[in-house]
Protein backbone atom coordinates (compact mmCIF):
# COMPACT_ATOMS: atom_id res chain seq x y z
CA UNK A 1 0.00 0.00 0.00
CA UNK A 2 1.18 3.54 -0.69
CA UNK A 3 -0.08 7.10 -0.39
CA UNK A 4 -0.07 8.06 -4.09
CA UNK A 5 -3.64 8.38 -5.36
CA UNK A 6 -5.68 10.46 -7.80
CA UNK A 7 -7.82 13.31 -6.44
CA UNK A 8 -9.85 15.49 -8.77
CA UNK A 9 -8.04 14.06 -11.76
CA UNK A 10 -4.49 14.65 -10.49
CA UNK A 11 -2.02 12.25 -8.84
CA UNK A 12 -1.27 13.24 -5.27
CA UNK A 13 1.47 12.29 -2.84
CA UNK A 14 -0.46 12.24 0.45
CA UNK A 15 -2.28 15.62 0.36
CA UNK A 16 -0.05 17.35 -2.15
CA UNK A 17 -0.72 17.45 -5.90
CA UNK A 18 2.37 16.28 -7.75
CA UNK A 19 1.77 19.03 -10.29
CA UNK A 20 2.30 21.59 -7.49
CA UNK A 21 5.65 20.04 -6.59
CA UNK A 22 6.70 19.99 -10.23
CA UNK A 23 5.73 23.66 -10.62
CA UNK A 24 8.27 24.47 -7.92
CA UNK A 25 11.05 21.91 -8.50
CA UNK A 26 10.78 20.94 -12.16
CA UNK A 27 11.40 17.48 -13.57
CA UNK A 28 12.81 14.89 -13.37
CA UNK A 29 12.52 14.47 -9.61
CA UNK A 30 11.95 11.88 -6.92
CA UNK A 31 9.04 12.31 -4.52
CA UNK A 32 8.73 10.27 -1.30
CA UNK A 33 5.79 9.87 1.04
CA UNK A 34 6.52 10.03 4.78
CA UNK A 35 3.32 8.10 5.58
CA UNK A 36 4.34 5.20 3.34
CA UNK A 37 7.88 5.08 4.75
CA UNK A 38 6.49 5.04 8.27
CA UNK A 39 3.83 2.49 7.48
CA UNK A 40 6.33 0.08 5.96
CA UNK A 41 8.74 0.38 8.88
CA UNK A 42 5.92 -0.28 11.34
CA UNK A 43 4.78 -3.35 9.40
CA UNK A 44 8.16 -4.96 10.01
CA UNK A 45 8.38 -3.74 13.59
CA UNK A 46 4.92 -5.14 14.35
CA UNK A 47 5.68 -8.38 12.50
CA UNK A 48 8.46 -9.10 14.99
CA UNK A 49 6.55 -8.02 18.09
CA UNK A 50 6.83 -10.48 20.93
CA UNK A 51 10.50 -11.19 20.29
CA UNK A 52 13.48 -9.03 21.11
CA UNK A 53 14.25 -7.37 17.77
CA UNK A 54 15.61 -4.38 15.87
CA UNK A 55 14.59 -3.43 12.35
CA UNK A 56 17.73 -1.98 10.76
CA UNK A 57 16.77 -0.10 7.61
CA UNK A 58 19.22 -0.94 4.79
CA UNK A 59 19.92 2.64 3.85
CA UNK A 60 21.55 1.68 0.56
CA UNK A 61 17.96 1.64 -0.78
CA UNK A 62 17.47 5.40 -0.22
CA UNK A 63 19.86 7.28 1.99
CA UNK A 64 18.77 10.89 2.02
CA UNK A 65 19.21 12.42 5.48
CA UNK A 66 15.51 13.26 5.67
CA UNK A 67 14.54 9.63 5.01
CA UNK A 68 16.99 8.34 7.60
CA UNK A 69 15.73 10.84 10.17
CA UNK A 70 12.11 9.92 9.46
CA UNK A 71 12.80 6.24 10.12
CA UNK A 72 15.21 6.78 13.00
CA UNK A 73 12.52 8.79 14.79
CA UNK A 74 10.39 5.62 14.84
CA UNK A 75 13.21 3.69 16.50
CA UNK A 76 14.73 2.16 13.37
CA UNK A 77 18.28 0.92 13.39
CA UNK A 78 20.43 1.33 10.27
CA UNK A 79 22.30 -1.21 8.20
CA UNK A 80 25.28 0.60 6.64
CA UNK A 81 27.81 -0.71 4.13
CA UNK A 82 30.39 2.05 3.80
CA UNK A 83 32.03 4.85 5.71
CA UNK A 84 29.78 7.21 3.77
CA UNK A 85 26.62 5.46 4.92
CA UNK A 86 27.95 5.31 8.48
CA UNK A 87 28.54 9.06 8.38
CA UNK A 88 25.03 9.61 7.00
CA UNK A 89 23.56 7.65 9.91
CA UNK A 90 25.62 9.58 12.44
CA UNK A 91 24.73 12.94 10.87
CA UNK A 92 21.05 12.03 10.95
CA UNK A 93 21.40 11.42 14.69
CA UNK A 94 21.06 7.64 14.72
CA UNK A 95 22.50 6.33 18.01
CA UNK A 96 25.57 4.21 17.35
CA UNK A 97 24.10 1.26 19.24
CA UNK A 98 21.53 1.08 16.45
CA UNK A 99 24.04 1.05 13.58
CA UNK A 100 25.07 -2.28 12.07
CA UNK A 101 28.08 -2.24 9.77
CA UNK A 102 27.84 -4.72 6.90
CA UNK A 103 29.66 -5.08 3.58
CA UNK A 104 31.97 -7.49 1.87
CA UNK A 105 35.07 -5.29 1.65
CA UNK A 106 35.49 -3.00 4.63
CA UNK A 107 38.66 -0.94 4.41
CA UNK A 108 40.89 -0.26 7.38
CA UNK A 109 39.92 3.44 7.20
CA UNK A 110 36.27 2.43 7.54
CA UNK A 111 37.14 0.14 10.44
CA UNK A 112 38.96 2.94 12.25
CA UNK A 113 36.02 5.24 11.69
CA UNK A 114 33.41 2.91 13.16
CA UNK A 115 35.62 1.69 16.00
CA UNK A 116 36.23 5.28 17.03
CA UNK A 117 32.63 6.35 16.52
CA UNK A 118 30.93 3.28 17.99
CA UNK A 119 28.79 0.58 16.44
CA UNK A 120 26.17 -1.97 17.44
CA UNK A 121 28.03 -4.73 15.66
CA UNK A 122 30.17 -5.41 12.63
CA UNK A 123 28.99 -8.17 10.30
CA UNK A 124 32.27 -9.80 9.31
CA UNK A 125 32.43 -11.42 5.88
CA UNK A 126 35.82 -13.16 5.72
CA UNK A 127 38.72 -14.38 7.84
CA UNK A 128 41.20 -11.73 6.62
CA UNK A 129 38.65 -9.07 7.51
CA UNK A 130 38.16 -10.59 10.94
CA UNK A 131 41.90 -10.50 11.64
CA UNK A 132 42.22 -6.92 10.42
CA UNK A 133 39.25 -5.81 12.52
CA UNK A 134 40.73 -7.46 15.61
CA UNK A 135 44.02 -5.62 15.05
CA UNK A 136 42.26 -2.31 14.50
CA UNK A 137 40.14 -2.74 17.63
CA UNK A 138 43.25 -3.63 19.63
CA UNK A 139 44.97 -0.46 18.39
CA UNK A 140 42.04 1.57 19.70
CA UNK A 141 41.91 -0.42 22.94
CA UNK A 142 38.33 -1.49 22.28
CA UNK A 143 36.38 -4.73 22.00
CA UNK A 144 34.07 -4.84 18.99
CA UNK A 145 30.88 -6.91 18.85
CA UNK A 146 30.74 -9.00 15.69
CA UNK A 147 28.59 -11.49 13.87
CA UNK A 148 29.99 -13.55 11.02
CA UNK A 149 28.02 -13.62 7.79
CA UNK A 150 27.48 -17.17 6.64
CA UNK A 151 26.69 -18.15 3.09
CA UNK A 152 24.05 -20.87 3.39
CA UNK A 153 24.18 -21.92 -0.28
CA UNK A 154 20.48 -21.32 -0.81
CA UNK A 155 18.95 -20.28 -4.11
CA UNK A 156 17.03 -17.06 -3.47
CA UNK A 157 15.19 -17.42 -6.81
CA UNK A 158 15.70 -13.80 -7.73
CA UNK A 159 17.58 -11.87 -10.44
CA UNK A 160 21.16 -13.22 -10.70
CA UNK A 161 22.65 -9.76 -10.08
CA UNK A 162 21.00 -9.45 -6.67
CA UNK A 163 21.24 -13.06 -5.41
CA UNK A 164 23.85 -13.36 -2.66
CA UNK A 165 23.30 -16.66 -0.85
CA UNK A 166 24.74 -19.24 -3.25
CA UNK A 167 28.23 -20.64 -2.75
CA UNK A 168 29.39 -19.06 -6.02
CA UNK A 169 28.54 -15.56 -4.71
CA UNK A 170 31.24 -13.43 -3.07
CA UNK A 171 29.36 -12.99 0.21
CA UNK A 172 29.99 -14.43 3.66
CA UNK A 173 31.88 -17.57 4.63
CA UNK A 174 30.67 -21.02 3.54
CA UNK A 175 28.36 -22.32 6.25
CA UNK A 176 30.24 -25.63 6.24
CA UNK A 177 33.38 -23.80 7.42
CA UNK A 178 31.56 -21.77 10.05
CA UNK A 179 32.59 -23.77 13.12
CA UNK A 180 36.28 -23.40 12.28
CA UNK A 181 35.96 -19.69 11.57
CA UNK A 182 34.02 -19.11 14.80
CA UNK A 183 36.71 -21.01 16.69
CA UNK A 184 39.32 -18.62 15.26
CA UNK A 185 37.12 -15.63 16.03
CA UNK A 186 36.68 -16.80 19.61
CA UNK A 187 40.44 -16.62 20.09
CA UNK A 188 40.71 -13.01 18.91
CA UNK A 189 40.87 -10.89 22.04
CA UNK A 190 39.45 -7.64 20.68
CA UNK A 191 36.36 -9.18 19.09
CA UNK A 192 33.21 -10.13 20.97
CA UNK A 193 31.39 -12.80 18.95
CA UNK A 194 27.72 -12.07 19.56
CA UNK A 195 25.92 -13.82 16.76
CA UNK A 196 25.38 -14.93 13.17
CA UNK A 197 24.50 -12.92 10.07
CA UNK A 198 22.89 -14.06 6.83
CA UNK A 199 21.47 -12.29 3.77
CA UNK A 200 20.59 -14.34 0.70
CA UNK A 201 19.48 -11.73 -1.80
CA UNK A 202 17.05 -9.01 -2.71
CA UNK A 203 13.55 -8.87 -4.22
CA UNK A 204 12.61 -12.34 -2.97
CA UNK A 205 9.00 -13.13 -3.74
CA UNK A 206 8.76 -16.42 -1.87
CA UNK A 207 9.35 -17.17 1.82
CA UNK A 208 10.76 -20.65 1.27
CA UNK A 209 14.38 -19.64 0.48
CA UNK A 210 14.40 -17.44 3.59
CA UNK A 211 13.01 -20.30 5.69
CA UNK A 212 15.65 -22.69 4.33
CA UNK A 213 18.46 -20.25 5.13
CA UNK A 214 17.10 -19.41 8.59
CA UNK A 215 16.74 -23.12 9.43
CA UNK A 216 20.41 -23.57 8.61
CA UNK A 217 21.25 -20.58 10.82
CA UNK A 218 19.19 -22.06 13.67
CA UNK A 219 21.07 -25.37 13.38
CA UNK A 220 24.36 -23.52 13.32
CA UNK A 221 23.36 -21.52 16.41
CA UNK A 222 22.89 -24.73 18.35
CA UNK A 223 26.18 -26.17 17.11
CA UNK A 224 28.10 -23.01 17.97
CA UNK A 225 26.52 -22.84 21.41
CA UNK A 226 27.60 -26.43 21.96
CA UNK A 227 31.11 -25.32 20.99
CA UNK A 228 30.94 -22.73 23.77
CA UNK A 229 30.05 -19.56 21.84
CA UNK A 230 27.50 -17.25 23.41
CA UNK A 231 25.34 -16.78 20.30
CA UNK A 232 22.71 -14.27 21.33
CA UNK A 233 21.95 -12.23 18.22
CA UNK A 234 20.84 -13.23 14.72
CA UNK A 235 20.97 -10.76 11.85
CA UNK A 236 18.68 -12.24 9.23
CA UNK A 237 19.37 -9.69 6.48
CA UNK A 238 16.87 -8.03 4.18
CA UNK A 239 15.45 -9.03 0.85
CA UNK A 240 11.68 -9.23 1.06
CA UNK A 241 10.36 -8.22 -2.37
CA UNK A 242 7.69 -5.74 -3.40
CA UNK A 243 5.01 -5.90 -6.10
CA UNK A 244 6.39 -3.96 -9.08
CA UNK A 245 3.42 -4.80 -11.28
CA UNK A 246 0.04 -3.87 -9.94
CA UNK A 247 -2.51 -6.64 -9.98
CA UNK A 248 0.12 -9.37 -10.24
CA UNK A 249 0.49 -11.84 -7.44
CA UNK A 250 1.99 -9.89 -4.56
CA UNK A 251 5.04 -11.13 -2.62
CA UNK A 252 4.45 -12.30 0.96
CA UNK A 253 3.59 -9.63 3.52
CA UNK A 254 5.97 -8.54 6.29
CA UNK A 255 3.49 -10.11 8.71
CA UNK A 256 3.96 -13.55 7.12
CA UNK A 257 7.71 -12.99 6.96
CA UNK A 258 7.74 -12.16 10.68
CA UNK A 259 5.67 -15.26 11.53
CA UNK A 260 8.11 -17.40 9.54
CA UNK A 261 11.08 -15.87 11.42
CA UNK A 262 9.45 -16.67 14.75
CA UNK A 263 8.77 -20.21 13.57
CA UNK A 264 12.33 -20.82 12.38
CA UNK A 265 14.43 -19.10 15.04
CA UNK A 266 12.03 -18.00 17.79
CA UNK A 267 12.86 -20.97 20.04
CA UNK A 268 16.52 -19.92 20.29
CA UNK A 269 15.83 -16.89 22.48
CA UNK A 270 18.15 -14.71 20.38
CA UNK A 271 17.70 -11.05 19.68
CA UNK A 272 16.69 -10.80 16.00
CA UNK A 273 17.73 -8.09 13.55
CA UNK A 274 16.42 -7.70 10.03
CA UNK A 275 17.71 -5.34 7.34
CA UNK A 276 14.90 -4.46 4.94
CA UNK A 277 15.58 -1.73 2.39
CA UNK A 278 13.41 -2.13 -0.68
CA UNK A 279 10.18 -2.91 1.11
CA UNK A 280 10.45 0.21 3.25
CA UNK A 281 11.47 2.70 0.56
CA UNK A 282 10.44 1.16 -2.78
CA UNK A 283 6.76 1.94 -2.90
CA UNK A 284 7.28 5.10 -0.87
CA UNK A 285 8.84 6.87 -3.86
CA UNK A 286 7.98 7.95 -7.38
CA UNK A 287 10.16 9.30 -10.13
CA UNK A 288 8.29 12.11 -11.89
CA UNK A 289 9.20 13.02 -15.43
CA UNK A 290 7.90 15.17 -18.28
CA UNK A 291 7.26 14.11 -21.82
CA UNK A 292 9.65 15.92 -24.15
CA UNK A 293 8.43 14.50 -27.45
CA UNK A 294 6.15 11.94 -28.88
CA UNK A 295 8.09 10.54 -31.81
CA UNK A 296 6.37 8.38 -34.34
CA UNK A 297 8.85 5.83 -35.65
CA UNK A 298 8.41 3.09 -38.19
CA UNK A 299 5.91 0.73 -36.60
CA UNK A 300 6.78 2.10 -33.15
CA UNK A 301 5.90 5.17 -31.17
CA UNK A 302 8.48 6.53 -28.78
CA UNK A 303 7.58 8.56 -25.75
CA UNK A 304 10.75 10.52 -25.04
CA UNK A 305 10.97 11.64 -21.41
CA UNK A 306 13.25 14.04 -19.59
CA UNK A 307 14.21 11.26 -17.15
CA UNK A 308 16.85 8.82 -18.31
CA UNK A 309 18.82 5.77 -17.29
CA UNK A 310 21.14 7.97 -15.24
CA UNK A 311 18.17 8.92 -13.04
CA UNK A 312 16.67 5.42 -12.72
CA UNK A 313 19.01 2.70 -13.87
CA UNK A 314 17.02 -0.35 -12.75
CA UNK A 315 15.34 -1.08 -16.12
CA UNK A 316 18.68 -0.85 -17.97
CA UNK A 317 20.64 -2.81 -15.37
CA UNK A 318 18.22 -5.54 -14.27
CA UNK A 319 15.53 -5.44 -16.98
CA UNK A 320 13.36 -4.20 -14.10
CA UNK A 321 9.78 -3.14 -14.67
CA UNK A 322 8.38 0.05 -13.15
CA UNK A 323 4.74 0.89 -13.77
CA UNK A 324 4.43 4.22 -15.57
CA UNK A 325 1.27 6.22 -14.96
CA UNK A 326 0.17 9.70 -16.02
CA UNK A 327 0.04 12.40 -13.35
CA UNK A 328 -3.18 13.72 -14.92
CA UNK A 329 -5.76 10.97 -14.56
CA UNK A 330 -6.85 9.79 -18.00
CA UNK A 331 -10.55 10.12 -18.82
CA UNK A 332 -12.53 6.92 -18.37
CA UNK A 333 -12.94 6.61 -22.14
CA UNK A 334 -9.35 7.66 -23.05
CA UNK A 335 -7.90 5.66 -25.90
CA UNK A 336 -4.77 3.71 -25.07
CA UNK A 337 -1.85 3.40 -27.46
CA UNK A 338 1.37 1.42 -27.36
CA UNK A 339 4.66 3.25 -26.75
CA UNK A 340 8.28 2.54 -26.08
CA UNK A 341 9.09 4.81 -23.17
CA UNK A 342 12.66 6.08 -23.44
CA UNK A 343 15.01 8.70 -22.06
CA UNK A 344 17.21 11.16 -23.98
CA UNK A 345 20.56 9.45 -23.22
CA UNK A 346 22.57 8.33 -26.22
CA UNK A 347 22.21 4.59 -25.97
CA UNK A 348 19.47 2.13 -26.74
CA UNK A 349 19.75 0.78 -23.19
CA UNK A 350 18.11 4.02 -22.11
CA UNK A 351 14.69 2.42 -22.48
CA UNK A 352 12.33 2.29 -19.50
CA UNK A 353 9.63 0.12 -21.04
CA UNK A 354 8.80 -1.38 -24.38
CA UNK A 355 5.25 -1.79 -25.65
CA UNK A 356 3.79 0.17 -22.78
CA UNK A 357 0.04 0.94 -22.97
CA UNK A 358 -0.62 4.59 -22.17
CA UNK A 359 -3.19 7.07 -23.35
CA UNK A 360 -1.84 9.65 -25.78
CA UNK A 361 0.42 12.13 -23.99
CA UNK A 362 1.98 15.26 -25.40
CA UNK A 363 4.91 17.52 -24.76
CA UNK A 364 4.94 18.74 -21.14
CA UNK A 365 2.62 16.04 -19.78
CA UNK A 366 3.85 14.43 -16.57
CA UNK A 367 4.30 10.75 -15.85
CA UNK A 368 5.20 8.91 -12.65
CA UNK A 369 7.32 5.78 -12.32
CA UNK A 370 5.97 3.75 -9.45
CA UNK A 371 8.05 1.76 -6.94
CA UNK A 372 11.07 3.96 -7.60
CA UNK A 373 11.84 4.91 -3.99
CA UNK A 374 14.39 2.13 -3.46
CA UNK A 375 17.58 1.90 -5.52
CA UNK A 376 16.41 4.91 -7.56
CA UNK A 377 18.00 8.20 -6.48
CA UNK A 378 20.89 6.40 -4.76
CA UNK A 379 21.94 4.75 -8.02
CA UNK A 380 21.60 7.92 -10.09
CA UNK A 381 24.61 9.38 -11.86
CA UNK A 382 25.52 12.41 -13.94
CA UNK A 383 26.02 10.40 -17.13
CA UNK A 384 25.65 12.63 -20.20
CA UNK A 385 26.35 15.54 -17.81
CA UNK A 386 22.81 15.47 -16.54
CA UNK A 387 22.72 16.94 -13.00
CA UNK A 388 21.81 14.56 -10.18
CA UNK A 389 18.06 14.22 -9.89
CA UNK A 390 16.55 16.16 -6.94
CA UNK A 391 14.46 14.65 -4.14
CA UNK A 392 11.34 15.90 -2.36
CA UNK A 393 9.71 14.56 0.80
CA UNK A 394 5.98 14.95 1.41
CA UNK A 395 4.29 14.82 4.79
CA UNK A 396 0.55 15.42 4.87
CA UNK A 397 -0.06 18.68 3.05
CA UNK A 398 3.57 19.83 3.26
CA UNK A 399 6.50 19.12 1.03
CA UNK A 400 10.19 19.98 1.20
CA UNK A 401 13.08 19.69 -1.19
CA UNK A 402 15.44 17.30 0.57
CA UNK A 403 18.09 17.42 -2.15
CA UNK A 404 18.07 20.32 -4.59
CA UNK A 405 18.88 19.98 -8.26
CA UNK A 406 22.46 21.18 -8.78
CA UNK A 407 22.92 23.90 -11.36
CA UNK A 408 25.01 23.08 -14.41
CA UNK A 409 27.72 25.37 -13.00
CA UNK A 410 27.74 23.51 -9.68
CA UNK A 411 28.09 20.23 -11.51
CA UNK A 412 30.89 21.40 -13.78
CA UNK A 413 32.74 23.42 -11.14
CA UNK A 414 33.51 20.26 -9.18
CA UNK A 415 36.12 19.48 -11.82
CA UNK A 416 39.54 20.98 -11.19
CA UNK A 417 42.05 21.95 -13.82
CA UNK A 418 45.67 20.74 -13.52
CA UNK A 419 48.37 23.46 -13.54
CA UNK A 420 49.58 22.56 -17.05
CA UNK A 421 46.23 23.46 -18.70
N1 LIG B 1 21.33 -6.38 3.86
C2 LIG B 1 22.36 -6.63 3.02
C3 LIG B 1 23.58 -7.21 3.55
C4 LIG B 1 22.22 -6.33 1.64
O5 LIG B 1 23.23 -6.60 0.82
C6 LIG B 1 21.01 -5.78 1.16
C7 LIG B 1 20.85 -5.45 -0.26
C8 LIG B 1 19.98 -5.53 2.08
C9 LIG B 1 20.17 -5.84 3.42
C10 LIG B 1 18.68 -4.91 1.67
O11 LIG B 1 17.97 -5.73 0.81
P12 LIG B 1 16.47 -5.33 0.37
O13 LIG B 1 15.60 -5.48 1.58
O14 LIG B 1 16.50 -3.93 -0.11
O15 LIG B 1 16.14 -6.29 -0.69
N16 LIG B 1 20.24 -2.37 -6.60
C17 LIG B 1 19.45 -3.58 -6.60
C18 LIG B 1 19.30 -4.17 -5.22
C19 LIG B 1 20.62 -4.49 -4.55
C20 LIG B 1 20.48 -5.04 -3.16
C21 LIG B 1 21.80 -5.17 -2.49
N22 LIG B 1 21.77 -5.60 -1.13
C23 LIG B 1 18.09 -3.29 -7.22
O24 LIG B 1 17.85 -2.16 -7.66
O25 LIG B 1 17.27 -4.18 -7.34
| 256/228 same-domain check | yes
Render 44-79 in DSSP notation, one character per residue.
Answer: HHHHTTTS-EEEEEEGGG---HHHHHHHHTTT-EEE
| 304/397 same-domain check | yes
pLDDT for res 156: 85
Give residue ranges with CB within 6 A of ligand 1. 58, 61, 79, 102, 162, 199, 202-203, 237-239, 275-279, 314, 318, 374-375
| 319/257 same-domain check | no
pLDDT for res 123: 98
- Domain assignment present for residue 69? The answer is no
Pocket test for ligand 1, best of 44, 62, 151, 202 (most atoms within 8 A of CB): 202
pLDDT for res 167: 78
For atom 19 of ligand 1, the residue with the nearest CA is: 162
Structural domain including 376 reads 4-31+282-412
- Domain assignment present for residue 52? The answer is no
Phi and psi, residue 92, nearest 5°? -80, 0
Question: 99 has which bridge partners?
Answer: 78
pLDDT for res 33: 98
- Domain assignment present for residue 183? The answer is yes
| 262/295 same-domain check | no
- How far is C-alpha 297 from the geometric centre of its chain's CA atoms? 37
pLDDT for res 245: 80
- Which among 3, 18, 6 has a CA at the least distance from the CA of 366? 18
Instruction: Tell which of 274, 305, 325 closes a domain.
Output: 274
Instruction: Tell which of 243, 274, 305 closes a domain.
Output: 274
pLDDT for res 247: 66
- Angle ∠(372,377,383) on CA atoms, nearest 5: 120
| 110/143 same-domain check | yes
Cα distances (Å, whole numbers) of residue 399 to 52, 64, 210, 284, 288: 35, 15, 37, 14, 15
| 187/244 same-domain check | yes
Burial of 185 (0-12, 13-18, 19+ CB in 10 A): buried
| Burial annotation 250-271 (CB, 10 A radius, 16+ → b, else e) | ebbebeebbbbbbebbbebebe
| 123/260 same-domain check | yes
Pocket test for ligand 1, best of 37, 58, 317 (most atoms within 8 A of CB): 58
Q: What is the DSSP letter of 142?
A: -
pTM of the model: 0.97
pLDDT for res 35: 98
The domain that holds 19 is classified in CATH as 2.40.37.10
The domain that holds 195 is classified in CATH as 3.20.20.10
Q: Measured from the CA of 149, which atom of ligand 1 is nearest?
A: 3
Pocket test for ligand 1, best of 47, 55, 60 (most atoms within 8 A of CB): 60
Q: Measured from the CA of 282, which atom of ligand 1 is nearest?
A: 14
Q: How many domains does the chain have?
A: 2
Q: What is the DSSP letter of 42?
A: H
| 138/160 same-domain check | yes
- Domain assignment present for residue 306? The answer is yes
Give me the residues of the chain with pLDDT under 70, please: 247
346 catalytic? Reply is yes
| 212/267 same-domain check | yes
| 258/316 same-domain check | no
| 304/168 same-domain check | no
| 356/302 same-domain check | yes
Amino acid sequence: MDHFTYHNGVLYAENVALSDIVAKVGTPLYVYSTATLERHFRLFDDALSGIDHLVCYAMKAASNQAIIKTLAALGAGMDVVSGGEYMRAIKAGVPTDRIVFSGVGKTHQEMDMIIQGGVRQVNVESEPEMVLLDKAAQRHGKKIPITIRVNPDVDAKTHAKIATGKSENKFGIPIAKARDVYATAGRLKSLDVVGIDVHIGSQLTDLEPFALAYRKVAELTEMLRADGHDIRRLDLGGGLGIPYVRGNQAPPLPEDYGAMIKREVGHLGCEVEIEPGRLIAGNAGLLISSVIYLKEGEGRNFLILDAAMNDLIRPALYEAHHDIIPVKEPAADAKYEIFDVVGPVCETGDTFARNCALHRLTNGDLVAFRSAGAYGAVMASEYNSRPLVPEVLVKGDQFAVIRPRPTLEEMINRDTIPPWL
